[in-house]
A = this chain, B = another copy of it.
């Protein structure tokens, strides 16, 4: 194939690292890409782990040192799927080395770090993209299109939730996400719904919030009797005001029994409403007022070829995309940006803006007052 290669260096091979590898492998088969991704180099905690993962995920080479990866001249793009604490050092090193960066969310452990990273990206003038993959759903593009075309009128309300239950077991062991700099449920899951809110509605200006740590300690490892104190939020509830005046609520929880992927929203406009949940992410519910007396109601729209880029995956409607397909669309957006075909979204600046909302929310909760969200 005549496309120039894009040699990917991936740091990290866990859940999201593997998703990256699958997506890079798939993207060129689904889309007509301007560059051909090549799985060049995988770095992980040590050489042994890295070698095994490289073999499993199909990378040409492996390394036990991410610094080596960043410096490798045969790496065109640095993809970061490492633990959150590594996001900043790896990204800064990559940008310093003049390389574009594809980083998993949340961008950083703190707003300061995220701001630094956004500034470094701006200074380096390199493409950056942060993995808020749920934004890449064709049905979310449809929601944005419906809003843009004034089909639900002026937006007036937003309710956003991201609830899961993967920490609902009080004996789920202490992990990096429970460290103070790990962030808690609002950073881990809340950042998804905040990015969605920003994508669909716009800047968030101010926030009031309440949070709680329900399980105040966790075993140091699975089955251990020794426990470690947890101080990050398990659950967060916030009310917010967008810069446009739209009001809303946002919630995040990783201890909601029964919810596996309730990344959900309802958007109210003056002439209609939208309703969505990632639990059924190939569907969007739309209501438009005053069109059809006696036959009105929410319409359940199923994703299909008329909702790009669904048709690149499957030519027939109703067949459904899967989670891994969203990552493929994200990789396509990244590669288009790298080829100069379209701007990257969400980039480091956008992710820092998300972080500013998280930061404001956490302060609002701890200080029990409305907090103005810092502009990035």
Contact = CB atoms under 8 A, between A and B. Distances in A.
A241 interface: yes
Most chain B beta-carbon contacts within 10 A, residue among A15, A151, A210, A317: A210
A317 B323 CA distance: 11
A370 B212 CA distance: 17
B212 A156 contact: yes
A166 to B, nearest CB: 7
Interface string A294-316: 11111111101011000001111
Contacts of A239: 208-210, 237-239, 249
Contacts of A370: 208, 368-369
A77 to B, nearest CB: 18
Task: Give the bracket for the number of chain A residues in contact with chain B.
Answer: 35 or more
Contacts of A279: 302, 318
Contacts of A322: 313, 319-325
A32 interface: yes
Interface string A217-255: 000000000000000000101111100010111010101
A34 to B, nearest CB: 15
Interface string A247-266: 11101010111111100000
12 contacts: A25-B29, A156-B212, A156-B255, A168-B270, A168-B289, A210-B239, A237-B240, A258-B296, A261-B320, A293-B306, A320-B320, A369-B369
